[in-house]
Amino acid sequence: MSTNKQWLRRWYNNAMNPTEALQVLSEEYPFLNNKGTKILKQFVAADGRVYNSFLVESTESGFEKFIAKSFVHNPESLKREWIFLKLLQAKNAHAPRLLVEQEPKRFLLMEYIDGVPASQAVKLDDYDVADIFRGVGVATGMANSVELETFGNILEPSPKSWKDQVLEKLDDKLQTVKLHVTEEFFNELIAVVTSTKHILDDETKGKPMLAHHDIYLENFLVKKTNKEVVLIDYGIAYGGRPLFDLAKFYIWDLVHYPEQKDNFLSAYSTYVPLPSNFNEVMKFHLIYECFGMIAYFDKISAVKDRNDAIKVLEDLALGEGVITKLVQ
């Protein structure tokens, strides 16, 4: 069995089945301990990961349908998401609303959003692609405009600056990148990174803001009723700088819809002002994001995805390809 398959199997084995989930739910929330509560669906990722997230129906709770969410590997993610959803709810941001305010132990209860993932909606005739990208810009901007107290993990406040935290992670990721590129290209990367590190000085002067850390179309839902776009999944969010959050979205999605860049940015900048050196800042964050992708995909033996990230990195370093045009 490949390392990638082993990783997926471990993930699957740590997920609850619906029967276990219903038992845990009734223990944490006694008002769900009745015959009128049932699990309608367990959510599964496109790559086969089985989530501890369920669509629940309850005739006696007053909620009708709702989402019960836990985390397979990291219980701390549950508390992080709960904290961030409270902050976003106070700002009326386009994010799921909490149904129970108490701190969750095993499950977070959230509203059920009857919507279509933006990754699917952009391919359907019933949805306007430009409106979707504007909606993504609004939802992302709303999230990135929420001020926090410190950079990094909200549960473990750190005195380290944004610059120190980024550079600390950068050194580790570079060692993995070095294993998969030529020495000549690696030296070119070091030169590019060195010439753009000053970006972090200006970024560190800014306040810690909510960084979602997983911005791509799959994490946005387009409501069927009014087409409003909602950003979901805040389990790995932390205190960072806003533009860092855009890098994954550029690499995963905007690269396939470059004509939507202006629609996205015009909506986003309503909530997060763009600096005069925006393209330079984005180039640094894109390179840094590629380093992270290469390290992650190498860890789970996803060779094709790792090589795709290397290709994006090559384009950025050499000034070629669609991704480079997005930051010119």
Give the 3-state DSSP-derived string for the chain, with helices as H, strands as E and coil as C.
Answer: CCHHHHHHHHHHHCCCCHHHHHHHHHHHCHHHCCCCEEEEEEEECCCCCEEEEEEEEECCCCCEEEEEECCCCCHHHHHHHHHHHHHHHHCCCCCCCECCCCCCCCCEEEECCCEEEHHHHCCCCCCCHHHHHHHHHHHHHHHHCCECCCCECCCCCCCCCHHHHHHHHHHHHHHHHHCCCCHHHHHHHHHHHHHHCHHHHHHHHCCCEEECCCCCHHHEEEECCCCCEEECCCCCCEEECHHHHHHHHHHHCHHHCHHHHHHHHHHHCCCCCCCCCHHHHHHHHHHHHHHHHHHHHHHCCCHHHHHHHHHHHHHHHHCCHHHHHCCC
- Pairing mode, strands 108-111 and 220-223: unpaired
Residue 2, pLDDT above cutoff 80: no
d(CA 16, CA 323): 40
Domain edge (last residue) among 112, 137, 152: 112
Name the residue range of residue 31's domain: 3-112
Q: Across residues 258-268, what is the average pLDDT?
A: 98
CATH number, position 246 = 3.90.1200.10
Residue 61, pLDDT above cutoff 80: no
Domain match, 70 and 126 both: no
Domain match, 269 and 147 both: yes
Confidence band of 1 (pLDDT split at 50, 70, 90) = very low
Report pLDDT digits (tens) over 87-132: 999 999 999 999 988 899 999 999 999 999 999 999 999 999 999 9
Domain edge (last residue) among 72, 87, 112: 112
Report pLDDT digits (tens) over 26-56: 999 988 877 789 999 999 877 777 888 999 9
CA quadruple 229, 235, 237, 238: dihedral sign: positive
Domain match, 47 and 128 both: no
Q: Are 42 and 54 in contact (CB under 8 A)?
A: yes
Q: Which two tokens stand for residue 290?
A: 């590629």
d(CA 237, CA 88): 12
Domain match, 161 and 278 both: yes
Confidence band of 13 (pLDDT split at 50, 70, 90) = low
Domain match, 166 and 283 both: yes
Domain match, 136 and 76 both: no
Domain match, 196 and 260 both: yes
Residue 184, pLDDT above cutoff 70: yes
CATH number, position 87 = 3.30.200.20
Total number of domains constituting the chain: 2
Q: What is the pTM of this model?
A: 0.92
Domain edge (last residue) among 112, 135, 157: 112
Residue 261, pLDDT above cutoff 90: yes
* C-alpha distance from residue 111 to each of 65, 85, 89, 134, 252 (Å): 8, 11, 12, 23, 27
295 closest CA partner among 116, 144, 172: 172
d(CA 53, CA 68): 6
Lowest mean pLDDT among 140-149, 190-199, 264-273: 190-199
CA atoms within 13 A on the CB side of 142: 21
Domain match, 103 and 172 both: no
Domain match, 198 and 233 both: yes
Q: Which two tokens stand for residue 193?
A: 């990174």
- Measure the CA angle with vertex 222, ends 49 and 283; round to 5°: 75
Q: Burial of 250 by CB count in 10 Å (0-12 exposed, 13-18 middle, 19+ buried)?
A: buried
Domain match, 108 and 122 both: no
Domain match, 134 and 229 both: yes
- Measure the CA angle with vertex 328, ends 312 and 280; round to 5°: 80
User: What percent of the chain has pLDDT above 90?
Assistant: 68
Domain match, 160 and 15 both: no
